[in-house]
Each structure stands twice: as C-alpha cells, then as structure tokens.
Amino acid sequence: MVELIRAGTVLPALRTPFVVRTSDGKDLVGEIAAPIDQSRGAILCLHPLPTAGGMMDSHILKKAANRLPAMAAMTVVRFNTRGTTSEAGTSTGEFDNGVAEGIDVQAMLAYCFDILMLKNLWVVGWSFGTDLALQHAKDPRHEGLILLSPPLRTTTDEQLRYWNTDERPIIALVPQLDDYLQPEQARARFSILPKLRIVAATGAKHLWIGEPSVHMVLSTINQIVTGDSQELPQEF
C-alpha cells in the first residue's frame, strides 16, 4: 500500500547499534541503517552543535536513516560525538568545540571503511558538522563532502584552502533564510574554494524545518551519492 511520506515515517531497514572506541579511549555510540538488499552508497553523518541540542537524532539525520535505506538503497551511519547524548546513549568524553572531535571523525571514517567495508561513502555534515567535515574529514577513501547549512563558525581560510589541493567534490546546501550564512554570503566566504558548489535552497532555514525542506535535502543527497536524476518520491 502506497502511503504519503510524513515527518514520522519509518521505512524498513537493517538497523544496528554500535560503539566505536577512539584512539584516545572515548566510546562513540551510533547506529547503522542499511538497506534490506544491496547498498548503492553510504553517508556518514556529522551532527549539529551539541551545546545547542545537536545530536545523531537531529531531525534531518534521523529522517535520512528512516527513509534513505528503503527509498534509495543507501546506508546511513549516524553517531554522537564525544559528550553528546541521544536515545542511543551518550558518547564518553567532553565537548571540545570541534577540536578533539576530529579524533571522533577519524575513528568513524576508519570504522566505515575498515570494519563496515562501505563503498561510495560520502561525508554529510550539518551546521557544526560542516566544520568537522571541512577540518577533519580528510581520509582519502571517502568520495566527497556534502555540507548542510554551513556557518563557517570555526573553519579558517587556511583550512578551506586545503581543499584546493584535494580533487574530491564539495557541495553546500545553503538555506535562503539561514540564520548564519545565506547564499550570497556563502558565495563570498567560499570564494577561496572555487570548486565548491553552492545549492541555494529557496525558502529554507538553517534547521530545515518542514517536509518541503526535508524532501529537498534528502533528494539532493540521493542525487549526489547514487547519481539518480529524479527527486525522491513523496509517497512510498
């Protein structure tokens, strides 16, 4: 039976909780949501700012895990950075404003490749998670970065310029009504990184509230990761 996709829709997937130990002895809790059949690609999700309520269950990331395995045959890996709590539990350690969290990102990328053996993996950061991606997601095995609502809060120009030495694509989805960095401002700030592609999201805000915004984000992620040309269906 075909049903309209709603905010609370949860579609079938193989859901597996995990704990990953970092090189400095912190335990990161998370969940893998994999398609029932063969995976066509994967995303590692870096969540928004924990001190502002960000976690692995922040709604865009949770909806990605709830929908993309069934709708796009995509594997979604979510986790809490150090000191962050969600329904899955609390990762040990303390918030470090994106510095020690770099160790978390490196541990998770190693887990995705060395343990899960994922193929066609992209790193998806949202807000605080975009700074983590730009600063720390340099493992040569992932395919590129997808940035949602990048505030460029802590990423320096020098850290941006690093990506001019790396051929992998970076796509930034920038809400028209973002609280921190709107499309024109983003074009100016990212001008030192000419290869970065900005996708302006008409009518959207930093938190991507509302099903039209969620649909746009998840459809764009799917198009980038799997190469599908069509938007995701709104019924399934």
CATH number (domain holding residue 211): 3.40.50.1820
Number of domains into which the chain is organized? 1
- Does 232 map to a domain? no
As a whole number, mean pLDDT of residues 187-202 equals: 97
Could you tell me the residue range of the domain that residue 165 belongs to? 14-225
Look at residue 159 and tell me if it is in a domain: yes
| pLDDT value for 2 | 85
Asked whether residue 58 is domain-assigned, the answer is: yes
Give the pLDDT band of residue 192 (cuts 50, 70, 90). Answer: very high
Amino acid identity for residue 160 in this structure: L
Work out the mean pLDDT of the chain and round it to a whole number: 98
Structural element, H or E, at residue 153: none
Q: For residue 1, is it within any domain?
A: no
User: Is 230 a member of any domain?
Assistant: no
Residue 6 falls within a domain, yes or no? Answer: no
Report the C-alpha gap between 135 and 158 in whole angstroms: 10
pLDDT of residue 74: 98
199 contact partners, CB below 8 Å, separation of at least 6: 171, 172, 173, 174, 220
Look at residue 21 in the predicted model and tell me its pLDDT: 98
Does residue 3 lie within any of the structural domains? no
- Look at residue 49 in the predicted model and tell me its pLDDT: 98
Phi, psi (rounded to 5 degrees) for 107: -65, -40
Q: Is the pLDDT of residue 1 over 80?
A: no
pLDDT number for residue 93: 98
231 located within any domain: no
Task: State how far the alpha carbon of 145 is from the alpha carbons of 6, 110, 175, in Å.
Answer: 27, 16, 17
Q: How far apart are CA 72 and CA 113, in angstroms?
A: 20
Confidence band for 3, pLDDT divided at 50, 70 and 90: confident
Q: What is the mean pLDDT of residues 128-139?
A: 98
Q: Please name the residue that has the structure tokens 């949501």.
A: 33
pLDDT tens figures, 140-181: 999 999 999 999 999 999 999 999 999 999 999 999 999 999
